[in-house]
Amino acid sequence: MDLGLKGKKALVCASSRGLGKGCADALAEAGCTVTLNGRDAAVLAELAGALSEKHGVDVNFVAADVSSPEGQQALLDACPSPDILVNNNGGPPRRDYSELDRPAILDGVVQNMVTPIELTKAVLPGMTERGFGRIVNITSMSVRMPIEGLDLSSGARAGLTAFMAGVCRQVAPHGVTINNILPGKFDTDRLKAGFERTASLSGQSLETVRTDAAKEIPAGRFGTPEEFGQTCAFLCSAHAGYITGQNILLDGGLYPAAF
Ligand SMILES: NC(=O)c1ccc[n+]([C@@H]2O[C@H](COP(=O)([O-])OP(=O)(O)OC[C@H]3O[C@@H](n4cnc5c(N)ncnc54)[C@H](OP(=O)(O)O)[C@@H]3O)[C@@H](O)[C@H]2O)c1
């Protein structure tokens, strides 16, 4: 399907690996010029070259901490008027709520709530003026369903979700949509780190933890960054202009509810 995105400019935060990379790949496939981000310049340079060659589009990158004001400015300098913004970042480390002190709590809120709000604020005036814009926030299934050790991540992302629920309606008349994708369990480094923690706390092997986790998912497997990216690209597409303020759960059926 032609997503109607040829020549659009996409700024994809935290996209050197995992889900962000899946989004960058799918948007480049759809014909977007893509700006990648992460903190490792060597990894980014290799990925930019690979995506550019694979899809025949321009891909540049910014090696910077997306949570810092300087990092955000560098991203906006590299991609001054994005048509598409994918808000993504690392998540807070898994930790029991009782171990979180004030600096750790603030870090988590800055990472997963303040940063996407700041970037959204920066790009919305241009998007509304041009009459087209797509913002996709990568949040988490944990906004809907508590996950042990991730209360900070869940809280910050739920705050972001509520914030965006108002903003998306304000910009809807201008052809701009804002949606959230809620990953369940996707096969990335982040998921692996969680399994390693569970294995070391429980004394089980990594393979046992992994197999048991996959069995809990009705689909019987983890999601792939590629299928995540394709969903993101569709939400950014010309066809998705009437979808806004939605929370798209991608979880292979893991969240057990009718609604
Ligand atoms: N995978 C899942 O199943 C799952 C489920 C629920 C929620 N999530 C959330 O979805 C997001 C992406 O997860 P993932 O699984 O794709 O993680 P991942 O595989 O660990 O990839 C994280 C990406 O973010 C980049 N990054 C991390 N911190 C950054 C920073 N401060 N500035 C710029 N880039 C940064 C990393 O690159 P560098 O390290 O080189 O900077 C990497 O490209 C996370 O917030 C995660 O909590 C994931």
Tens of pLDDT along the chain (259 residues) come to: 999 999 999 999 999 999 999 999 999 999 999 999 999 999 999 999 999 999 999 999 999 999 999 999 999 999 999 999 999 999 998 899 999 999 999 999 999 999 999 999 999 999 999 999 999 999 999 999 999 899 999 999 999 999 999 999 999 999 999 999 999 999 999 999 989 989 999 999 999 999 999 999 999 999 999 999 999 999 999 999 999 999 999 999 999 999 8
- Confidence at residue 99, expressed as pLDDT on a 0 to 100 scale: 97
Q: What is the dihedral of CA 177, 183, 186, 188, to 10 degrees?
A: 70
- Confidence at residue 236, expressed as pLDDT on a 0 to 100 scale: 99
- Confidence at residue 73, expressed as pLDDT on a 0 to 100 scale: 98
- Measuring from each residue's beta carbon to the nearest atom of ligand 1, which residues come in under 6 Å? 14-20, 37-40, 43, 65-67, 88-91, 138, 140-141, 153, 183, 185-186, 188-191
Residue 37 vs residues 45, 110, 206, 240: alpha-carbon distances, Å = 10, 17, 30, 25
**Torsion-angle region of residue 58: left (phi > 0), alpha (psi -120 to 50) or beta?**
beta
- Confidence at residue 114, expressed as pLDDT on a 0 to 100 scale: 98
Ligand 1 centroid distance, CA of 125 (Å): 27
Bridge partners for 62 per DSSP: 37
Bridge partners for 96 per DSSP: none
Edge-first strand listing for the sheet containing 33-38: 59-63, 33-38, 9-12, 84-87, 133-138, 176-183, 247-250
Ligand 1 centroid distance, CA of 43 (Å): 14
Phi, psi values for residue 107, rounded to 5°: -55, -45
Ligand 1 centroid distance, CA of 106 (Å): 18
The Cα 116–Cα 114 span in angstroms is: 6
Residue 4 identity: G
Q: For the chain, report the end-to-end CA distance as a whole number of angstroms.
A: 28
- Confidence at residue 46, expressed as pLDDT on a 0 to 100 scale: 98
Nearest protein CA to atom 28 of ligand 1, as residue: 90
Q: Which atom of ligand 1 is nearest to the CA of 138?
A: 10
Cα 212 vs. chain centroid, distance in angstroms?
26
3-state secondary structure of 136: strand
Burial of 257 (0-12, 13-18, 19+ CB in 10 A): exposed
Q: What is the dihedral of CA 238, 236, 165, 126, to 10 degrees?
A: -80
C-alpha count within 13 angstroms, C-beta hemisphere, residue 248: 20
